Amino acid sequence: MDFNKLARLPILNRLPQDVLEIVFRTGEVKQVKAGDILSREGAQACHVIWILSGRAKTSVENINGEETVIDIISQGAKVGLAEVCEEGAYCLSVQVLEDSVIFQLPKAEFLSLLEEQFDLQMAVFANISVEMRGAVREINDLKLKNTSRRLGAYLLGMTSAEEGEVVIDLPFGKRLLAARLAMKPESLSRALAKLKKTGVETMRNQVKIMDIEVLKNYCGEDDWLFEEGMV
């Protein structure tokens, strides 16, 4: 594995070289297959996991025992950090969608490193702070925005472009995108139709934004939803 990939992961990208090397020696890089379970809702958390390549879905069971997809996660995403830190149970189930590569640290080893390495403590605290602000932003978005503006803000968060035309590769299909944005598939279709007026076009698994500024004005520049890894 390219050591530089590990050095770019959230939390680990804040560590000095010597501490990062300790983390690398302590953890394990694993190949996982489509369908493998990385965590199961309600089970005791036993690892902190980073996704190095591939995709996975996070989900919970509703009161009827049916699966509700929460998110689709990919390179750079973490699993189990908060649960391991509080020595609790996983709050989400995470299932691999395609053959992937992960880096994992067992709970005991991670907590030992956290106790010994001040730089790791600070990196974890900083990351949790960023994620909390992002969660508050997204909750506000869900409460205050209609579906088309919510979708537009999400698309803006998937590109670093600030002006002009851009084409975005969707990391998953429209059904999972709808689940990610807490919409029904038909609501997503209506939202995409409304966004056409702002110059947003869909092409299979791609979305073209004709003018970033137009979409920003429609959605509200301060309401972008930044994907993890862009923070």
- Judged against a pLDDT cut of 70, whether residue 166 lies above it is answered with yes
Q: Average pLDDT, stretch 99-115?
A: 95
Instruction: Kindly state whether residue 231 falls inside one of the protein's structural domains.
Output: no
Mean pLDDT (the chain) is 84
**Would you state the pLDDT for residue 149?**
86
In whole angstroms, give the CA distance from residue 129 to residue 143: 21
Task: Indicate whether 8 and 120 sit together in one domain.
Answer: yes
Q: Which residue is associated with the tokens 């560590």?
A: 15
Instruction: Kindly state whether residue 23 falls inside one of the protein's structural domains.
Output: yes
Task: Indicate whether 135 and 161 sit together in one domain.
Answer: no
Look at 43 and 172; give whichever has higher pLDDT: 43
Task: Indicate whether 36 and 86 sit together in one domain.
Answer: yes
In whole angstroms, give the CA distance from residue 175 to residue 88: 31
Q: How many domains does the chain have?
A: 2
Task: Categorize the per-residue pLDDT at 144 as very low, low, confident or very high, splitting at 50, 70 and 90.
Answer: low
Q: Average pLDDT, stretch 101-114?
A: 95
In whole angstroms, give the CA distance from residue 166 to residue 129: 30
Q: Which structural domain range is residue 121 located in?
A: 3-139
Look at 171 and 144; give whichever has higher pLDDT: 171
**Which structure tokens are listed for 86?**
């509080």
Task: Categorize the per-residue pLDDT at 96 as very low, low, confident or very high, splitting at 50, 70 and 90.
Answer: very high
176 near 220, Cβ under 8 Å?
no
- Judged against a pLDDT cut of 90, whether residue 172 lies above it is answered with no
Instruction: Kindly state whether residue 217 falls inside one of the protein's structural domains.
Output: yes
Instruction: Kindly state whether residue 190 falls inside one of the protein's structural domains.
Output: yes
Task: Indicate whether 64 and 117 sit together in one domain.
Answer: yes
Task: Categorize the per-residue pLDDT at 132 as very low, low, confident or very high, splitting at 50, 70 and 90.
Answer: confident
Of 28-37, 81-90, 141-150, 202-211, give the lowest mean pLDDT range. 141-150
